[in-house]
Amino acid sequence: MPKTLPKVDVVTVGVGWTGGILAAELARDGMKVVGLERGKERTTADYLHGHDELRYALRYKLMQDVSKETITFRNNRGQRALPMRQLGSFLLGENLGGAGVHWNGQTYRFFPYDFEIKSLTEKKYGKEKIKKDYLVQDWGITYNEMEPYYDQFEKACGISGEENPMAGKRSNPYPTPPMKSTPILEKFKKATKQLGYQPYQIPSANLSEPYMNQYDQQINACQYCAFCERFGCEYGAKSDPVVTVIPAAKKTGNYEIRYHSNVTEVLYDGEKVTGVKYVDIYSGEEYIQPAEVVALTSYVMNNVKFLLMSNIGEPYNPNTGRGVVGRSYCYQILPGATGFYDEEQFNSFMGAGALGTSINDFYGDNFDHSDLDFIHGGVISITQTGKRPIANNPTPPDTPRWGKEFKRNSIKYYTRTLSVGSQGASLPHRENYLDLDPTYKDAYGLPLLRMTYNFTDQDKKLHRYITKKTAEISERMGASKTVPHPELKDYSIVPYQTTHNTGGAIMGEDPNTSVVNSYLQHWDADNLFVVGASAFPHNGGVNPTDTVGALAYRAAEGIKMYRKNGELLV
């Protein structure tokens, strides 16, 4: 028998970016908030001896232990889904701060186009432009409505950036100036300007100078240590939940985090949720934590898994197209080109997670799609995130994968390649969805989430088009040889791509085609908020977390309103 604990105002499932933001905003508003985190506590001091590529980047020290819980995967419904037995394509977070601790910190807003993608596309190109089977829809919120929340999240982080001429309007400049430029970035800037594009420094959560946020938390200045992506920051210079929002919540005295607490169920009586069940993984004891409001802040995969396991909302059925939970799972695609330089050697082992320069000339509808058979596009960037030697062994195409020639070329080109890359937007497709696996179980006896996903025709066309643009830039930068990424084939769970999974519990205006409203409040349980990129109706062509953070601020506002009037907010 699980032990029932005293009721609290709000319980969050997981304490990463979204859980941390809700905690800060709601605890400061006077609510009693409990954060249940399956992992352990960690602090800046834990990263001081962490410049170890093997342990952190390759053995995933900071990430989810998939021996306990993973997902299953197949490319299509005809296949048998099998467990993702080791991490690969994306790196799920675990422990205090979640994936927010080991993120890069590239903090872009989505563009006005993203939020009204369907209306804008149909208005300009007609109803036929969005092809059958693509479940593209507007978000139920506009960029202008999102703007104040972006502003709040960026202030919590102290984002370092400069005006991007093609982006949506900002109410305030970036809190801190852009990061330093480097010869590598300058090369990209020069080439893109020559081609008529408009480069700008990537908005960064690696801060250019020390900064105090709205909660009086200090974030320090980035030291360009190059162990950033997949690492925690020993300087407290990368804005993550642990240095920005969680201490703000703790200071109020209204916030308690329980570690090693793995939530196993959201308790639902058919109208409201009453709390969650969790297990203390050290003692093995089970508890029920009743709450006025439950917030799922456990990242895309588990947010969706909880809804399915607890029977909240109608699961998506790809046969009929009915149902919403698990629908519109999206990812991202990575067009790009690698430039090999025979004459120049670059300090590419130096860097920072969000150090880079981008253009948006091929984002959204910033270029004409009249004669193109895809919509949207993606940001094109060069980044200097610090190349480490185990993972980076670039060789020109005909080099064997091992032996003398491999050794020579991988050594030579380690400091002699520059890649121009893109993050291509990903649009929902009828056949790409999440549900529960019928066979495989996690360490708690619960079903694994099953992902059915493949790249679509739209993805392949977008990939081909943007790859060509990146290759042109690489050539203009003066590469001796430019090797464009090969054509997109089947999605594979093996190589790392991005941890930019989205969808499955999407937001919208209509309960028939969305799980949550624009406050991320569940249509079928008004005291349940499902917070994260799970709410994205499609994935944009830049990193997601600025939008995730902004939506968490909006959800926090929604929860405050809900606590006052106790009903659906829209």
Q: Are 30 and 254 in contact (CB under 8 A)?
A: yes
Is residue 387 involved in binding ligand SF4 (CB under 6 A)?
A: no
List the single partner that 114 binds among other proteins, ligand FAD, ligand SF4, none, CB under 5 to 8 Å by kind: none
Q: Which is nearer to ligand SF4, 236 or 558 (CB)?
A: 236
List the single partner that 175 binds among ligand FAD, other proteins, ligand SF4, none, CB under 5 to 8 Å by kind: none
Q: What does the alpha-carbon distance between residue 398 and residue 239 come to, in Å, rounded to a whole number? A: 42
CB of 3 to ligand FAD, least distance (A): 17
Contacts with ligand FAD by CB under 6 A lie at 13-19, 36-39, 91, 93-95, 98-100, 102-107, 229-230, 262-263, 297-299, 302, 354, 499, 532-533, 543-545, 548
Q: Are 458 and 375 in contact (CB under 8 A)?
A: yes
CB of 155 to ligand SF4, least distance (A): 18
Distances (CA, A) of 364 to 75, 120, 196, 264: 27, 10, 18, 39
Q: What does the alpha-carbon distance between residue 98 and residue 62 come to, in Å, rounded to a whole number? A: 9
Q: What does the alpha-carbon distance between residue 439 and residue 506 come to, in Å, rounded to a whole number? A: 26
Structure tokens, 19: 């859980």
Structure tokens, 78: 């005809």
Structure tokens, 296: 């799922």
Q: Which is nearer to ligand SF4, 232 or 424 (CB)?
A: 232
Is residue 78 involved in binding other proteins (CB under 8 A)?
A: no
CB of 226 to ligand SF4, least distance (A): 6
Q: Which is nearer to other proteins, 144 or 218 (CB)?
A: 218
Q: Which of residues 305-334 bind other proteins (CB under 8 A)?
A: none
Q: Other CB atoms closer than 10 Å to residue 409's CB: what's the count?
A: 19
CB of 372 to ligand FAD, least distance (A): 27
Is residue 441 involved in binding other proteins (CB under 8 A)?
A: yes
Site track 329-358 with ligand SF4 (rule: CB under 6 A), x = hit: -----------------------xx-----
CB of 240 to ligand FAD, least distance (A): 9
At residue 10, what is the residue type?
V
Distances (CA, A) of 294 to 8, 36, 259, 276: 10, 11, 17, 8
Q: What does the alpha-carbon distance between residue 59 and residue 395 come to, in Å, rounded to a whole number? A: 24
Largest CA distance in the chain: 71
Q: Are 560 and 26 in contact (CB under 8 A)?
A: yes
**Phi-psi region at 299: left, alpha or beta (left = phi > 0; alpha = psi -120 to 50):** left
Q: How many residues appear in the chain?
A: 570
Distances (CA, A) of 426 to 107, 217, 460, 549: 18, 35, 11, 20
CB of 81 to ligand SF4, least distance (A): 36
Q: What does the alpha-carbon distance between residue 219 and residue 89 come to, in Å, rounded to a whole number? A: 30
538 among known catalytic residues: no
List the single partner that 16 binds among ligand SF4, ligand FAD, other proteins, none, CB under 5 to 8 Å by kind: ligand FAD
- Phi/psi of residue 384, nearest 5 degrees: -130, 80
Q: Which is nearer to other proteins, 388 or 554 (CB)?
A: 388
Could you say which of 102, 463, 485, 500 is catalytic? 500
Is residue 209 involved in binding other proteins (CB under 8 A)?
A: yes
Q: What does the alpha-carbon distance between residue 24 and residue 249 come to, in Å, rounded to a whole number? A: 4
Name the one residue in this structure whose structure tokens are 């993608």. 117
With CB atoms as reference, the residue minimizing the distance to ligand FAD is 16
Q: Which is nearer to ligand SF4, 157 or 295 (CB)?
A: 157
Q: What does the alpha-carbon distance between residue 550 and residue 111 come to, in Å, rounded to a whole number? A: 13
Q: Which is nearer to other proteins, 226 or 434 (CB)?
A: 226
Site track 28-67 with other proteins (rule: CB under 8 A), x = hit: ----------------xx--xx-xxxx---xxx----xxx
Site track 204-243 with ligand SF4 (rule: CB under 6 A), x = hit: --x---------------xxxx-xx--x-x-x-xx-----
List the single partner that 18 binds among ligand FAD, other proteins, ligand SF4, none, CB under 5 to 8 Å by kind: ligand FAD
Structure tokens, 174: 């970036």
List the single partner that 263 binds among ligand FAD, other proteins, ligand SF4, none, CB under 5 to 8 Å by kind: ligand FAD
Q: Which of residues 464-503 bind other proteins (CB under 8 A)?
A: 490-494
Q: Which helix (H) or strand (E) holds 255?
A: strand 255-258
Q: Which of residues 124-183 bind other proteins (CB under 8 A)?
A: 180-183
Q: Point out which residues bind ligand SF4 (CB under 6 A).
A: 206, 222-225, 227-228, 231, 233, 235, 237-238, 352-353
Which residues are catalytically annotated?
500
